[in-house]
Amino acid sequence: MKRLPSAYYFAVLLAAFTQSELSVAGDRPSDFIRPQLQADKPLINNKTQPDRVIHADLSTFADEAWILPVRSSHLSPGQITSRTLNMPGLRPFFLVGEDPQSLAWLRQRAAELQGMGAAGLAVEVADTEALARIRAAAPGITILPVNGNDIAARLQIQHYPVLITATSLEQ
Residue 13: which pLDDT band, with cuts at 50, 70 and 90? Answer: very low
- Report the pLDDT value the prediction gives residue 65, as an integer from 0 to 100: 84
Residue 61 above 60 pLDDT?
Answer: no
Q: Which residue has the higher pLDDT, 121 or 52?
A: 121
Show Cβ contacts of residue 75 under 8 Å, excluding neighbours closer than 6 positions.
95, 97, 123, 124, 148, 149, 152, 157, 158, 159, 160
Indicate the domain borders of the chain. 6-44, 58-170
Domain 58-170 CATH class label: alpha beta
- Report the pLDDT value the prediction gives residue 129, as an integer from 0 to 100: 96
Buried b (16+ CB within 10 A) or exposed e, 76-87: ebeebeeeeeee
Show Cβ contacts of residue 60 under 8 Å, excluding neighbours closer than 6 positions.
none
Instruction: Return the minimum-mean-pLDDT range out of 14-18, 122-126, 147-151, 162-166.
Output: 14-18
Note if the pTM is more than 0.85: no
Q: Give me the DSSP letters along 26-92.
A: -SSTT--EEE----SS-EETTEEPPP------GGGGS-GGGG-SB--TT-EE-----EE---TTPPP
Residue 119 above 70 pLDDT?
Answer: yes
Residue 40 above 70 pLDDT?
Answer: no
Q: What is the pLDDT of residues 63-105, one digit of tens each?
A: 788 899 999 999 999 999 999 999 999 999 999 999 999 999 9
